Chain A
Amino acid sequence: MLTIKNLHASVEEGAEILKGLDLEVKAGEVHAIMGPNGSGKSTLASVLAGKDGYEVTEGSVKFADTDLLELDAEDRAKEGMFLAFQYPVEIPGVSNVNFLRTAMNEIREYRKEDKLSAKDFLAKVKEASALVELDNKLASRAVNVGFSGGEKKRNEIFQMAMLEPKLAILDETDSGLDIDALRIVSEGVNKLRSKDNAIILITHYQRLLEYIQPDFVHVLNDGKIIKTGDKNLALELEEKGYDWINEEIAQ
């Protein structure tokens, strides 16, 4: 589904952050990407989602038969890529449902599908908000305005449930969540897992991976994936930190 080869990217007119990253994600898989601060985790998410301000200098990214790097950010979304933001953005005056309805209609139009009827849309809102125990009132409030940190993160997963992406990148969705919220969000994500979609979890902590079991764990350091393993790798990281990997590689 996603094939990243030798990806180099830098901040516009600035330092190189991704330095030859390779990653292969297949349908049905969950990949966790861990790594110390400044290793390039969020940059990877931004570059994949098509955020301005980054320059890809080398490498390729194939996503669902498209050359991803050639697509505008909105078209990547329409092709089925979803980014759950680390810091969800507030849009005053625009209700969550109106926002999602606009998004869904745009995506459906792109895929040459009919618009969703108001009835079907609302049924879906109900179902998706129940998934992350998001208060119905929040669905009609302005996007993320006045939401608590936990509500914002839940809202991201609510949107994911609405948009049904092929590939979802969860950028530190666990940060700032208390235990209960973490459980709710994780359970929501687990219910959305299927053999047809894939998930990339970007996280600092093993804690999230207790709830969402990854098929692969990758360690990102200095812009490259330096080690890949199964979920036990995360446990090892939790115990020993990151330094031992560097030492291992140095040997």
Chain B
Amino acid sequence: MSNTYTEEDLAKNLEEQEYKYGFTSDFKSDKAPNGLNEDIIRFISAKKEEPEWLLEKRLQAYYAWKEMTEPEWAHVNYEKPDFQAISYYSAPQQTKKYESWEDVDPEMKETMKKLGISLEEQKRLTGTAVDFVVDSVSVGTSFKKKLAEMGIIFCSFSEAVENHPELVKKYMGTVVPHTDNFYAALNSAVFTDGSFCYIPKGVKCPMELSTYFRINEGGTGQFERTLVVADEGSYVSYLEGCTAPMRDENQLHAAVVELIALDDAEIKYSTVQNWYPGNKEGKGGVFNFVTKRGICEKNAKISWTQVETGSAVTWKYPSCILKGDNSIGEFYSVAVTNNFQQADTGTKMVHLGKNTSSTIISKGISAGQSQNAYRGLVQIHPGAENARNRSECDSLLLSDRSGAHTFPYIECKNNTAKIEHEATTSKIGEDQIFYCQQRGIDEEKAIGLIVNGYCKEVLNHMPMEFAVEAQKLLEISLENSVG
């Protein structure tokens, strides 16, 4: 017998592995029955073979959630999901995959082509690539090895619970407590998986961490949970999401992301969100109700950058609690809504420490009949001497049936604070479009160019490759959007 390890061997191996790590518990089904009650929570926890303390946390969250009502203050309008009609658990392996490359929706292929995603990558994203798995495993493992040498932990949330329970226990729920809001409580009760990242003291993570490299990525979960801990003096840049269209059967997404930047640490968190926005008539699409928050200790810095183009309804406010003196919070956002999409997004900057500073740059773009709102809170607490904030909220309207709204809240309880707020609303100029056309650039490309120019300030904060993809994504999201 030959010693060479062939691709078939590996494929076989992977299959067996899946089986090995699959669910061999007594439960017959890998999918929980619809509805949410204590038994379902216990079912999820048991399926995941979780320790008792985590089950306790889940149950606490569940009881808190039961007492809560869905928030209604956002500038969005949708039919509320029936929380008892959802199945809260299905094994990750069951995420629907295409049988073969030929079965993949041509429109989706076209979009990926436009995004400049390599064929290999396209196949991986649609789950049709067996051959690519080989590649991905090798890339993934060498990557993981390098990180491990530096003491960086980067794994799924479940793995973290199993292998690093002390860290999870110490930090989980400290920034977004389960009582925080309706969706955060729901997530805390039923989350199935997510990502965990820990950067040890003084370590600068040498590469951008992206879920892309995680081998046992089970697709984006419906109730994802991310926890990033940057220990003293460390640095990490984390990328979330994917510019490729995510085929997703779940309508409701309620994720929780917690960032912890200890003294002198820095976390840069970049997101591209391109979930299914519903069709042109406004049917279907993902409800994206996310709670994202970070806490900065002394001299720490957290920077959120997001490009949001997907989802039917978005409710999302990545925030910073500037607890430590001299800490810095940043929020750079582009939110695009088209057709019947609705977005209510922004940030909260909570200044607690002395000499804390925050920057907010928000660019909203509304096309079609969509509604796009910026909602932000800048809160200066009494102890926050010499706090500074600068906010800039711009809205661009591409159609006369779309809406742009700005809801800035400022609460200042220390008179040494310096707060600047600027807001503009503009309509894309016919003159600008004609100027481009006269130089040989058609209307659609002209809009892409103008919009990208408008968003440049935000895109500049994204890691290079991500920014290039995000640019293309903006163009695609706004195709046929003028009028």
Contact = CB atoms under 8 A, between A and B. Distances in A.
A1 to B, nearest CB: 18
B450 interface: yes
B440 A103 contact: yes
A52 B438 CA distance: 12
Nearest to B451: A93
B82 interface: no
Contacts of A102: 441, 445, 449
Interface string A92-136: 111000111011101100100000000000000000000000000
Interface centre among B437, B439, B449, B457 (most CB of A within 10 A): B439
B437 to A, nearest CB: 4
Nearest to B459: A93
Given A93-B453, A94-B449, A94-B452, A106 B440 contact: yes
Contacts of A89: 429, 431-432, 434-435
Given A85-B435, A88-B435, A78 B455 contact: no
A209 interface: no
Contacts of A77: 437-440
Interface in B443-483: 443, 445, 449-450, 452-457
B7 interface: no
Given A88-B435, A91-B432, A142 B440 contact: no
A165 B429 CA distance: 25
Interface in A128-163: 142, 159, 163
Interface in B100-116: none
Contacts of A210: none
B464 to A, nearest CB: 16
A73 B445 contact: no
Contacts of A83: 438
Contacts of A142: 453
B437 A50 contact: yes
A50 B440 CA distance: 12
A45 to B, nearest CB: 10
Contact of B437 (A72, A94, A104): A72
B430 interface: yes
B442 interface: yes
A236 interface: no
A74 B435 CA distance: 10
A49 B440 contact: no
A207 interface: no
A67 B219 CA distance: 54
A73 to B, nearest CB: 4
A89 B456 CA distance: 18
A64 B361 CA distance: 48
A99 B437 contact: no
Given A91-B432, A102-B445, A163 B453 contact: no
Most buried by B among A49, A73, A77, A88: A73
A84 to B, nearest CB: 10
Contacts of B442: 72, 74, 106
A83 B431 CA distance: 13
A52 B456 contact: no
A51 interface: yes
Contacts of B432: 89-91
B454 A93 contact: yes
A106 B434 CA distance: 15
B345 to A, nearest CB: 21
A73 B453 CA distance: 22
B434 A94 contact: no
B290 to A, nearest CB: 28
Given A93-B454, A102-B449, A52 B434 contact: yes
Contact of B438 (A73, A92, A94, A110): A73
B450 A94 contact: yes
Contact of B439 (A52, A93, A103): A103
B441 to A, nearest CB: 5
A91 B440 contact: no
Contact of A73 (B431, B437, B455, B457): B437
Contact of A93 (B431, B438, B440, B456): B456
Contacts of A74: 436-438, 440-443
Interface in B135-156: none
A66 to B, nearest CB: 15
Given A77-B439, A99-B439, A106-B441, A94 B453 contact: yes
Contacts of A88: 435
A92 B440 contact: no
Interface in A144-201: 159, 163
Contacts of B440: 74, 77-78, 103-104, 106-107, 110, 163
A51 B434 contact: yes
Contacts of A51: 434
Nearest to B456: A93
A49 B445 contact: no
Contacts of B437: 50, 72-74, 77
A101 B9 CA distance: 49
A139 to B, nearest CB: 15
Nearest to B446: A74
A49 B430 CA distance: 14
Contacts of B430: 52
Nearest to A82: B438
B441 A93 contact: no
A83 B434 CA distance: 11
Given A51-B434, A85-B435, A99-B449, A92 B441 contact: no
Contacts of A73: 434, 437-438
A100 B436 CA distance: 9
Contact of B453 (A78, A92, A110): A92
Contacts of B449: 91, 94, 98-99, 102
Nearest to A169: B438
7 contacts: A49-B434, A52-B430, A91-B432, A92-B454, A94-B449, A102-B441, A106-B441
Given A91-B450, A92-B454, A94-B450, 15 more contacts: A50-B438, A51-B434, A77-B438, A77-B439, A89-B431, A91-B435, A91-B449, A92-B453, A93-B454, A93-B455, A102-B441, A103-B436, A104-B440, A106-B441, A107-B440
* A-B pairs with lowest CB-CB distance, top 9: A93-B453, A94-B453, A93-B456, A73-B437, A103-B439, A77-B440, A89-B435, A107-B440, A74-B437
